[in-house]
Structure 1
Amino acid sequence: MDAAQAEPLIVVDGANVVGSVPDGWWRDRRGAAVRLRDALAARDAAALPAALSGAFTLVVEGAAGGVPAVEGVHVEAAPRSGDDHIVALVADNVRHRPVAVVTADRALRQRVRELGASIVSPGELLASISYDGRPDAT
């Protein structure tokens, strides 16, 4: 299967996406990452824009580490820098499949574009899934 036929990889910069919703995420970084993961897993694939069609990998770092994968969302904990981990994922995949990175981080956007990845804004992702960042009230 060549890159044109392989399922695209959508790499989500978890810290950047969670950080784009000012809802107190900093008080529970792991909980915020879990809520984002769950919203990604519950996505309606048919309703996603073409730029977000593919296999999702959520990259978490620091206090958000330890978030397990669920069906439909692979989760990777960056051992150090989340940005460096995302760049490595792009480098490992871009030669054999299309890769899009969801981030607003300018430096990261530049690094992954140089490798051949496309960019999706956190706003575009958040408009396509059911995530407001807040924990469910029970």
Structure 2
Amino acid sequence: MQTLVIVDAANVVGSVPDGWWRDRRGAAERLRDRLVDVAAAGLPGHPGPVEVVLVVEGAARGVESVPKVRAESAPGSGDDRIVELVSERAAGRPCVVVTADRELRRRVEAYGAECMGPRAVQPSGERT
């Protein structure tokens, strides 16, 4: 069964101090484009292909989906939308949430999701 990978865009983008705050939507679009490779290759312990959903909020709302990466604009809190997506997934389907947000991790783990930090989806040149 294909793994569902849900990415907390605000948290992942914010983990790299590259000026993202000047163009939040552009930063989310760059992340979305990098996630195409993740969709094909997968994540540690979850070989590809995987289904990738990028949850955006605030100034990044309106980022469009691309083949292999679905962008989802949260109507309110991105964290709340991520929890909804985790709780709605098909029973027994593996789910990974990519975030460093401790409270969000606690919330999604209660639904059986696995969590990985932002480095899991960063290009190898940016990993520390």
- TM above 0.5, one fold? yes
The C-alpha deviation readout for 1:8-36, integer Å capped at 9, x for no partner, is 10000000000000011011000000000
Mapping of residues 40-59 of structure 1, within 5 Å: 40-43=35-38, 45-46=40-41, 48-51=43-46, 53=48, 54-59=50-55
Q: TM-score scaled by structure 1?
A: 0.83
CA RMSD of superposed structures (Å): 2.1
Distance change (3 Å), C-alpha of 1:46 and 1:124? closer
Listed as ranges, the gaps of 5+ residues in structure 1 are 1-5, 133-138
Match of residue 87 from structure 1: 83
Question: Is structure 2 residue 11 aligned with structure 1 residue 16?
Answer: yes
Q: Which structure has the larger Rg over C-alpha atoms?
A: 1
Between the aligned residues of both structures, percent identity stands at: 55
State the alpha-carbon separation in 2 of the partners of residues 82 and 47 from structure 1. 23
Structure 2, unmatched stretches of 5+, are: none
In structure 2, the residue matched to 1:76 is 72
Report 1 or 2 for greater relative contact order, CA contacts < 8 Å, sequence distance ≥ 6: 1
Paired residue type of 2:53: T
Counterpart secondary structure, 1:109: helix
* 2:32 match: 37
Letter in structure 1 aligned against 2:8: D
